[in-house]
């Protein structure tokens, strides 16, 4: 029987090399996995400070009071889009609607006269949804937009009146696009795009529902 002799010093050195090589392999695999995720469009999870704190600016009632002067109250209509209506809207928007149901607030004055329509909606900015209210006149032109809740660390300038005033008078026929009929805000492009998209979607939905008397 043949015995294989070990050189103890060489054995320890080989072991250290093996461990060091294993660590380097593990690091390489982790880096490869991260790179693979980036290639597939998987962004790394944002840090908490990048996401931002939740900022509540207005309640729905406060926003209605700001937009509809003289409003004494509001009733609610829950309108449902038909399959054909939804398909048509999705074609115009170029993407799927989040729901076929639209909750529409109808503010009225003390005499019961309709002052317009309002819809609370959400659109994702960079990481989290922005909650805002779109208020229109009875002719479905925008009276004003108010940001209710903001959840991003940057881009909060979109809640200011000097930006939101740009939506006044807009209808579903307007582009409502960044740097076309809505001026961008430096450092807040994603939030601007989110509000643009939400306002356009609300106006298109209201127009479709109004055309068949569902409002």
Q: How confident is the model at residue 174 (pLDDT cuts 50, 70, 90)?
A: very high
- Kindly list the domain boundaries of the chain, sorted by start residue: 1-44, 48-211
Query: What is the per-residue burial (b if ≥16 Cβ within 10 Å, else e) of 10-19?
Result: eeeeeeeeee
CA dihedral 196, 198, 200, 206 (to 10 degrees): -160
Q: State the chain's mean pLDDT as an integer.
A: 84
Confidence (pLDDT) at 50: 61
Q: Tokens for 208, please give them.
A: 């479709």
Which pLDDT value is given to residue 34?
40
With bands split at pLDDT 50, 70 and 90, how would you rate the model's confidence at 49?
A: low
CA dihedral sign of residues 13, 18, 22, 24: positive
pLDDT of residue 70: 94
How many CA within 13 A on the CB side of residue 180? 8
Higher pLDDT, 72 or 21: 72
| Rounded distance between C-alpha atoms, residue 75 and residue 124, angstroms | 28
Quick check: 154 and 64 in contact, CB under 8 A?
no
Residue 67 scores a pLDDT above 70:
yes
Residue 21 DSSP symbol: H
CA distance 139 to 136: 7
Q: Is residue 152 a contact partner of residue 126, using CB atoms and an 8 Å limit?
A: yes
Q: Tell me the three state secondary structure of residue 109.
A: coil
CA 187 to chain CA mean position, Å: 16
pLDDT surpassing 90 at residue 97: yes
Average pLDDT over residues 5-16: 43
Supply the pLDDT for residue 52.
72
- Whether residue 74 contacts residue 106, with contact meaning beta carbons closer than 8 Å, is answered with yes
Given a cut of 80, is residue 9 above it in pLDDT?
Answer: no
Q: What span, in angstroms and rounded, lies between the C-alpha atoms of 203 and 198?
A: 9
pLDDT in tens, 101-144: 999 999 999 999 999 999 999 999 999 999 999 999 999 999 99
Q: Would you place residue 189 in the very low, low, confident or very high pLDDT band (cuts 50, 70, 90)?
A: very high
In the predicted structure, residue 84 carries a pLDDT above the cut 50: yes
| The predicted structure's pLDDT at residue 169 | 98
pTM for the model stands at 0.77
**Coil/strand/helix, residue 132:** strand
Q: What is the pLDDT of residue 53?
A: 84
């Amino acid at each position: 029987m043949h015995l294989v002799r070990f050189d103890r010093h060489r054995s320890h050195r080989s072991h250290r090399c093996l461990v060091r090589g294993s660590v380097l392999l593990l690091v390489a695999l982790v880096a490869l996995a991260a790179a693979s995720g980036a290639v597939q469009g998987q962004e790394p999870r944002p840090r908490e400070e990048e996401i931002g704190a939740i900022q509540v600016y207005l309640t729905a009632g406060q926003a209605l009071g700001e937009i509809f002067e003289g409003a004494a109250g509001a009733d609610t209509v829950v309108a449902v889009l038909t399959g054909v209506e939804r398909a048509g809207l999705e074609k115009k928007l170029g993407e799927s609607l989040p729901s076929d149901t639209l909750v529409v607030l109808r503010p009225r004055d003390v005499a019961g006269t309709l002052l317009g329509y309002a819809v609370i909606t959400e659109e994702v900015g960079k990481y989290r949804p922005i909650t805002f209210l779109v208020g229109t006149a009875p002719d479905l032109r925008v009276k004003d937009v108010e940001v209710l809740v903001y959840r991003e660390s940057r881009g909060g300038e979109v809640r200011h009146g000097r930006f939101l005033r740009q939506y006044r008078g807009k209808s579903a026929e307007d582009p409502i696009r960044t740097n076309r009929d809505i001026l961008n805000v430096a450092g807040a492009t994603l939030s601007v795009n989110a509000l643009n998209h939400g306002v356009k979607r609300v106006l298109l939905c209201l127009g479709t529902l109004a055309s068949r008397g569902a409002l």
